[in-house]
Structure 1
Amino acid sequence: MNLQIAMILGQDGVTNGAIYALLALSILLVFTVTRVLFIPLGEFVAFGALTMAAFQAGKAPALVWLLAGFAVAVAVADVLAAFRNSGRVRFSGAQAFRLAYPFVLGFALYRLPLAELPMSVQVLLTLALVVPLGPQIYRLFFQPIASAPVLILLIVSIAVHVAMVGIALLLFGPSGAKTTPFSEAGLELGPITLNSQTLWVIAVSVGLIIVLYQFFERSVYGKALRATAINRVGAQLMGISPVFAGKASFFLATLIATLSGVLIAPITTIYYDSGFIISLKGFIGSIIGGLVSYPVAALGAVLVGMLEAFSAFWASTYKEVIVFTLIIPFLLWRSLTVRHVEEEE
């Protein structure tokens, strides 16, 4: 291995690590706020990439009907919950908007010349279509069992993941997709040329991390989520709604995952089931951070990306084995250094 090869591998490692870092932060955010290990997070990476590819092909993805079906189910669940609590049927303006939103969006998608739209508009439409699925999934599958033990939440998360993979196969088919890069320009850096999409990935990842930091440090909603993550019961006693915190964390996590899928779609071919492996590597980063520390999780995710890139050069056959084996020493170290506390029933 010479310097040029090492720099090329480093470029790939940093690119992958930036995406893994975003997913690691998303996993940590959801877990600390809701105690849910959001295994279906990877499906939103695939949904984002495949939806963007469908738009560039001039097709309106059938995912809009999944969004509509979930919206109807959420509306029914809200009406039934209101009836059980007060004995009356209530349907607010916000609920009407959430119910009408996917149908209006679907009408627009089938009318617009999707392939001719600017890429920025295609990205916004992708986010508008995929991201609302996150809060819907929380409302339908996790909000009713929010106080259940972590093991029950994990089992439900696995079940949702399996269902979402099957739905992705039904909606997008088994064929992979790759999108057009944001730009064709490159940056000369010594003996190598940095791909423009690599620069986009790094820039957007760093920008998102900065925005998230400012959101949690300076905004009221961010501080509310931090309070819920530190002490759920105390936050609830102070008037912070756990339902709002759960939906907000799922919204942010799916936003990051969808945008990650849009960013990596020009670099690699994405299939309906590709998201699981990608999010699993982000999960390793979050484990390195102990499912607590955001900075350590981000650094751990970058380490995973670098290890993956260099493993592909030295032992490509065992690349995944080497990456996933990284989790073992950290689990052993944490089991020996962290005091175990039984969860209160």
Structure 2
Amino acid sequence: MIIQLEKNIDKTQKEKLFDKLTALKIDARLIKTNFREYIVGIPSGEFDLREIGNMPGIADIHRVSDSYKMVSRKWKLNNTVIDLGDGITIGNGELAIMAGPCAIESEEQIISIVNHLKKNNIRIMRGGVYKPRSSPYSFRGLGIEGLKLFHKHCSENGIKVITEVMQVSQVEPMLDYVDIFQVGARNSQNFSLLDVLGKTDKPVMIKRGISGTIDELLYSAEYVFSGGNEKIMLCERGIRTFERATRNTLDLSAIPILKDKTHLPVIVDPSHGVGIRNYVPPMALAGVMSGADGVIMEIHETPEKAFSDGPQSLYYPQAEKLYRQLRETKKLRDHF
């Protein structure tokens, strides 16, 4: 059960509400988010919803059978829209395109990609400054100094920054230089990190775990929401299966399922989903047709020289062609 409180509810009304919930043997938890207050209630038996719904100070009340309650569409039918400022939104019916390198490598590289994105009216740049690598000897990012350069050039050009945070200790130092925190696949069940991100006011994009189920992804989002942050989006980035023809198996069926189960925006990542440059464009287009609110993709001026993930990064001309195709595909989807 989810109880949405009136914004002007007073202390006495709130105390009476909790007394009523206790009398009805409903385990109740107050959640304060960026926007308002809710109570999540877990009843131990049957009760009449009207006994609570008619009390003063309540804006709305819903029965929600899903264990992930706050991110469920069963109580919130309208899609969540994430406002990044400067006219940039995600989840409002427009297609969000996020593009950039796997890793931030140098200031010169940042400037090159920013100029490319401006030319193509792409308003969100991806790029890692902390890189979770399978091998400890691989390039692991430029850290906070790289992020400061990344933010400087993007903010000067009206472009928003999405980058991965790997551990709790990184959140606070990164806060002023990030527009969207990305939780990578390896950290999708790092509940300590999710708890801390729930206490920030910055949007969070959670990638599906390497072998994670759809429900597990929704539980991860519930951690962030229950911590107080409603600005959440989900990302299908491929899962590990027995197939070895691609880096991962991009589960496009997850996109319409997530759109049905949750009110949160859903993003598709074809770069990690297949890991092979020539397969990225068709999977990106298929992701849009599947209902994705946005696409996050890897690009590089010279992928063969990239410090990481070169084989799945698009050359600029390939990316420019794909941007046009993505926008046309979104128009086609709107006709259905």
Q: TM-score per shorter chain, which class?
A: under 0.3
Which structure dedicates a bigger proportion of its chain to strand? 2
Name the structure where helix makes up a greater proportion of residues: 1
What is the TM-score when the length of structure 2 is the normalising length? 0.26
The higher relative CO (CA closer than 8 Å, separation ≥ 6) is in 1
